[in-house]
Amino acid sequence: INAEYMGEKGASTVDPISADFRERVVQPKLREHFKRDEFIGRINEILYFLPFTQKELQELAIRELDKWKQNAHKRHGIDLTWDEDVVAMLAGAYNVRYGARSIQHEVERKLVSKLAKAHERDQIGKGSTIRVGLTADGEDVNLFKS
């Protein structure tokens, strides 16, 4: 059964899993695994994890960017801004197998490592304002110092 954590914001009070789906798909999987009904009877609750929507993926990307924005400002006095297409590119890096971590890793790989290198080379520092944009091919990020 495909699974992803929806988080508090994405949680819905409406049960999106139909009774038919539970009977046709979930129950046979439980019977196949546990073999005996007395084991299945001990299951109190089943949590279903649904894939993220595109909007939720973008919210995750923004949340991750905000985390690093606060970090950069607090630790180094650097202000970060980003273009909307950066959010879309990062959200597009989502991999259902790795879940939300795939977006975290993409932000670290594409943005944080570049910021760290630029900071080490004294290209950016306290008081810098950095705008994050996409490269011409849309596959990577560029840092623009204001």
At residue 1, the pLDDT reads 36
Q: What is the DSSP string of 4-27?
A: ---HHHH--SS--S-HHHIIIIIH
Total-model pTM: 0.72
Helical H segments across the chain, by residue range:
7-10, 19-21, 27-34, 37-40, 54-76, 84-91, 101-107, 113-120
Sequence letter at residue 130: I
Locate 106 and state its tokens. 């993409």
> pLDDT under 50 in the chain at which residues?
1-13
Euclidean distance between CA atoms 110 and 114, whole angstroms: 7
At residue 14, the pLDDT reads 52
